[in-house]
Structure 1
Amino acid sequence: MTSASLDDVRGLLDQARTVYRSDSETTGRLEALRKRADEPLRVALVGTVKAGKSTLVNALLGEQLAPTDARECTRIVTWYRHGNAPAVRARHATEGEVQIRTLRQAGRLELDLGHLDANEIEWLDVTWPAAPLEEFTLIDTPGMASISTEVGERTIEFVAPEGGVTVADAFVYMLRSLHAHDVEFLRTLGDRTGGETSMGSIAVLSRADELGAGRLNAMAVANKAVDRLRDDPTLEAACETVVPVAGLLALAGQSLRQSEFAHLVKVAALPPDRLAALMVSTDRFISAESDDLPSPRDRTALVHRLGLFGIRLALAVIQMGVSDATTLADELVRHSGLDELKRVIDVHCRRRHPQLKAHAVLLGLQQLFADHPVPDAVQLAETVDELLADPHPFQEMKLLGRVSSSRINLRSEDRSEMERLLGGSGTTAAERLGVEDDLRQHALAALWKWRDYAANPLFDPDTAEACRVTARSCEWIVADLSVSSPVG
């Protein structure tokens, strides 16, 4: 990670282009890095089979674009980019780039690969006019049962190619729990990248409602599991924070139909004893026979859309007095954890876009200089190495994931200030300080305050370390302001 701005990195790219102006291959790589610096943040979703990656892509986009079943398209790396007109292209091993036919069926995007063999397609590129894609390019990778399988090897090679630079600027790693293959993947990823993928990496405890067996307290159970995962050494070294999300519920809440609401209202009106018997299991919910119930087909559709937890939650919300589909949909999304994930992505990715982009491009430059060493590039390579060697930005981003945890014992107003100074509201001096005027004076006041906090003997070690990292961020701000506005 680096304290260099994107403008600083663009300057390094310009200098490198001058050094390598007679080397067409290397200048091509430099042009690709320059393009990467200027495009939206690339966020890759990775994880095991059935971890819910495609469902989460759809929930984040608010549309059913990614296939969520076991069809062949789920085995292909798929890019989702913003565009004014919908289009899908495939990169085929022998036929090059090929346009793919699409159609909407039952509210979903369906892709027709025609005669193309999915195993020979390197990637799919979906262009779609979805608002979130204006800020993020999402990359959905094939789910892995193990990194030793062919699909697992293809995914790890795409995410972190051996001897190359990862294509993503940030990662969302999908967990159903911390299994051995998750640990294996995270360690392999760290070995391939020297630990660099932990910058801008978020873990999601996906399908979180299943941990509580679909009961109404399922998300509370999931939150306890997340607290344990946050303290796991493997995850702590690989990710900045962990967030529980019920992806199916999030997606259903964003696209709830009036007919589905009507079916749920009908079920919620049942006498308590009949309703309790009906909700014992999925099989009982679908197979029960009664004229005052929705049809078995409609109940099956509800299970597919909401899951048992989502149905139980929806019924409870309706019985509490919700009488319209819009309000119910909002409640489903709120309980799904999607809003918290969006907040975490906002804090860890969107607001730190310049840092993450600068870091990704610097890694690309570091690899380029290693692959094509020339005397005129030695000083540039040393500059890149120095910028990447600073551990503080990583410490900032790790701390951002723990500011609200019980391990940091500060007042709520100090927690809010800490998050802002760490870059949680943006990385410019004004955004970090929360003021527009007298920046240097406010920066010095913040520095003195957090140095005093860090030296407070009454603070426990975790809180004192958090204060030291925050004081270091204040030192950064003061130094940057001194460079931009030197005292005469």
Structure 2
Amino acid sequence: MIAERTRAVLDRALAVYAQDPAAAAVLRAHRDRLDGPLRVALAGTLKAGKSTLLNALVGEQIAPTGTAECTRVVTTYRDAPAARITAEHRDGTPDRELPVVHRRGTLVIDLAGTPVERLRGLRVDWPSASLRAVTLVDTPGADSTRPGIAGRARAFLSAGDTAAPAEGADVATVLDAAPDDGADVVLHLVRHLHGADVAFAETVGERAARGIGPAGTVAVLSRADEIGGGRLDALVTAAQVARRYRADPGLRRHCRTVVPVAGLLAETARTLRGSEFAAVRDLAAGAREDVEDVLLSADRFLEAPERLVAGDHRTRRALLDRFGVHGLRLATTLVRRGAADSAGLAAELVRRSGLEELRAVVGTQLVAHGDVFRARAALAALTRVLRAVPAPRAGGEAGAAELAGAVERVLTGAHEFVEQDALVALHTAGLGGRGDAEEARRLLGGDGPDVTARLGVPPDAPAADVRGLALDALARWRRAGEDPRAERACTDVARVVVRSVEGILAER
């Protein structure tokens, strides 16, 4: 197992660097993370919906959202027995616990006057079953105009940069510049595929190809309802756009897939309140033509007569903030079609938001390979320590050289790493034009590491059928790997696929 091999190397490194507190802290943190949840960063430009999607994934409103720039410091959300908010300082000041404040069902993070510039990050411990398999990390907008804010996101996503430090650089500064608590994978949120989004995907993807930062990226069309102009079939239009993006070689070479999600709709559905269902039900009870008229725009809804929309301006604004115009149109339609209670409405809204598809992708393409991502991050951290920290007197240069060799042996000898590199290189290798990319991606574990997932058959498929499919795939990909007319990159990927299929046959 890759986790055991990595742990053994880290144990040896901890013995060598036992007298160096900074280096030992980095190594110990990564050793502990080998058995922990996958760290998933939500990244993207300002107002892409990162905090909203985080709330939807957790099923509770624990990340601040709003029209202003809410996330100005990297904030980690993890499962814990009790709620706690901790501020981590940059200047060595001890971590400080902040008050846990709820306001109208939403967690409020109050920095108690501490300037954002002094903070290295925030850690939110929260009891949640949704956070047991993954730890979610909310990052500032990559295009923030506030001084230093965008740089925080870039620095966090560069964790694991193994480049040699500048001569005379302070060791503590070097290690802090690439935090030991970086992300394993990224959900890259985009509203539309603009140049800034493509550039961001390229930066993260190119770093991943060089073993720097998060190793896997999934692009999320996070405001999918806006793509279809807020119509009831907006998610259908967004799904078509996502398919085009998935076929775009410029984007696909840097991310595993593209998933459309109506983030606000998903958050509201996962946190729907009884009073909100009652308001939607009352609205749906009006004449259909009148309801459709007041839901043509936000202004019409806010100024609608009381006989159609109950409540004052503030109440209506709160409902609009929770659902959006598209969400209200969809929710009232679903109530008319039979959603009789808040649970039924919430379930249908979740289904139509695209959230379940995203959760499935995160589970099969990211969490299922969590041991590989965590081991890769740990070995990158060890490499950073070896380059940044002078050889300790106890072990001498020989001890550091031995560790560097051990890291290299694990990286080159583990087929799990080779598979991940092949998945990153798949679309740059030109296989997409041959029509073989989808099968190669699946056989390399793109839909999950299980044998049946790799072969695209049900989990209960007969053993004889599984073996037959594996033998057929082995013959096909051996021919592809030996094709003298193919480019070198194509044959390299094909040979990795062959090794993966041979592993399937050996397992069976």
TM-score range, shorter chain: 0.7 to 0.9
How far does the alpha carbon of each residue in 1:376-397 deviate from its partner, in whole angstroms, 9 at most, with x for none? 3435424433544554223347
- 2:378 is aligned to 361
- 2:169 is aligned to none
> Match for 1:182 among 197, 201, 225?
197
- 2:86 is aligned to 89
Counterpart amino acid of residue 399 in structure 2? D
Q: 1:157 to 1:24 in 2, by over 3 A?
A: closer
Counterpart amino acid of residue 54 in structure 2? V
Residues in 1 aligned to 2:116 and 2:423: alpha-carbon distance in whole angstroms: 41
- 1:326 is aligned to 343
- 1:201 is aligned to 217
Q: 1:21 to 1:437 in 2, by over 3 A?
A: farther
Q: 1:234 to 1:151 in 2, by over 3 A?
A: farther
> Match for 1:114 among 112, 115, 130?
112
- 1:45 deviation in Å? 0.9
> Match for 1:392 among 419, 437, 442?
419
Residues in 2 aligned to 1:53 and 1:229: alpha-carbon distance in whole angstroms: 20
Q: Which moved more, 1:268-277 or 1:96-105?
A: 268-277
Q: Which moved more, 1:32-41 or 1:44-53?
A: 32-41
> Match for 1:160 among 133, 140, 158?
158
Q: Does 1:42 align with 2:44?
A: no
Residues in 2 aligned to 1:274 and 1:365: alpha-carbon distance in whole angstroms: 64
Counterpart amino acid of residue 472 in structure 1? R
Q: Which moved more, 1:232-241 or 1:219-228?
A: 232-241
- 1:273 deviation in Å? 2.6
> Match for 1:230 among 246, 271, 274?
246
Residues in 1 aligned to 2:461 and 2:194: alpha-carbon distance in whole angstroms: 50
- 1:318 deviation in Å? 1.7
Residues in 1 aligned to 2:317 and 2:342: alpha-carbon distance in whole angstroms: 19
Alignment of 1:134-153 (within 5 A): 134-145=132-143, 150-153=148-151
Contact 2:445 2:454 in 1 (8 A): yes
- 1:442 deviation in Å? 8.7
Q: 1:149 to 1:230 in 2, by over 3 A?
A: farther
- 1:218 is aligned to 234
Give secondary structure in 1 for the equivalent of 2:34: helix
Give secondary structure in 2 for the equivalent of 1:104: strand
How far does the alpha carbon of each residue in 1:244-280 deviate from its partner, in whole angstroms, 9 at most, with x for none? 1111101111122222222222222322332332222
- 1:267 is aligned to 283
Counterpart amino acid of residue 289 in structure 2? D
Q: Please give the TM-score of this superposition, normalised by the length of structure 1.
A: 0.83
- 1:9 deviation in Å? 0.8
Contact 2:383 2:404 in 1 (8 A): yes
Counterpart amino acid of residue 209 in structure 1? D
Counterpart amino acid of residue 398 in structure 2? P
Q: Does 1:14 align with 2:11?
A: yes
- 1:79 deviation in Å? 0.9
Q: Which moved more, 1:172-181 or 1:203-212?
A: 172-181
Q: 1:199 to 1:281 in 2, by over 3 A?
A: same
Counterpart amino acid of residue 114 in structure 1? A
Alignment of 1:253-402 (within 5 A): 253-297=269-313, 298-371=315-388, 372=390, 374-385=397-408, 387-388=410-411, 391-396=418-423
Q: 1:165 to 1:232 in 2, by over 3 A?
A: farther
Q: 1:92 to 1:378 in 2, by over 3 A?
A: closer
Q: Does 1:171 align with 2:189?
A: no
- 1:331 deviation in Å? 0.6
Contact 2:269 2:349 in 1 (8 A): yes
How far does the alpha carbon of each residue in 1:81-115 deviate from its partner, in whole angstroms, 9 at most, with x for none? 11111111112345431111121111101122223
Contact 1:201 1:239 in 2 (8 A): yes
Contact 2:270 2:346 in 1 (8 A): yes
Contact 1:100 1:113 in 2 (8 A): yes
Q: 1:194 to 1:54 in 2, by over 3 A?
A: same
Counterpart amino acid of residue 282 in structure 1? A
Q: How many residues align?
A: 463
Q: 1:26 to 1:214 in 2, by over 3 A?
A: same
Residues in 1 aligned to 2:214 and 2:499: alpha-carbon distance in whole angstroms: 20
Q: 1:287 to 1:478 in 2, by over 3 A?
A: same
How far does the alpha carbon of each residue in 1:398-429 deviate from its partner, in whole angstroms, 9 at most, with x for none? 879xxxx999689xxx97x98487264445x7
How far does the alpha carbon of each residue in 1:325-375 deviate from its partner, in whole angstroms, 9 at most, with x for none? 211111101000100010001011221111111111121222233335633
> Match for 1:105 among 103, 106, 117?
103
Q: 1:448 to 1:64 in 2, by over 3 A?
A: same
Name stretches of at least 5 consecutive residues in structure 1 with no aligned partner.
483-488
- The share of aligned pairs that are identical, in percent, is 36
Give secondary structure in 1 for the equivalent of 2:258: strand
Give secondary structure in 1 for the equivalent of 2:48: coil
Counterpart amino acid of residue 315 in structure 1? T
- 1:486 is aligned to none
Q: Which moved more, 1:354-363 or 1:14-23?
A: 14-23
- 1:474 is aligned to 501
Q: Please give the TM-score of this superposition, normalised by the length of structure 2.
A: 0.80
Give secondary structure in 2 for the equivalent of 1:80: strand
Contact 1:447 1:471 in 2 (8 A): no
Contact 1:73 1:118 in 2 (8 A): no
Contact 2:219 2:259 in 1 (8 A): yes
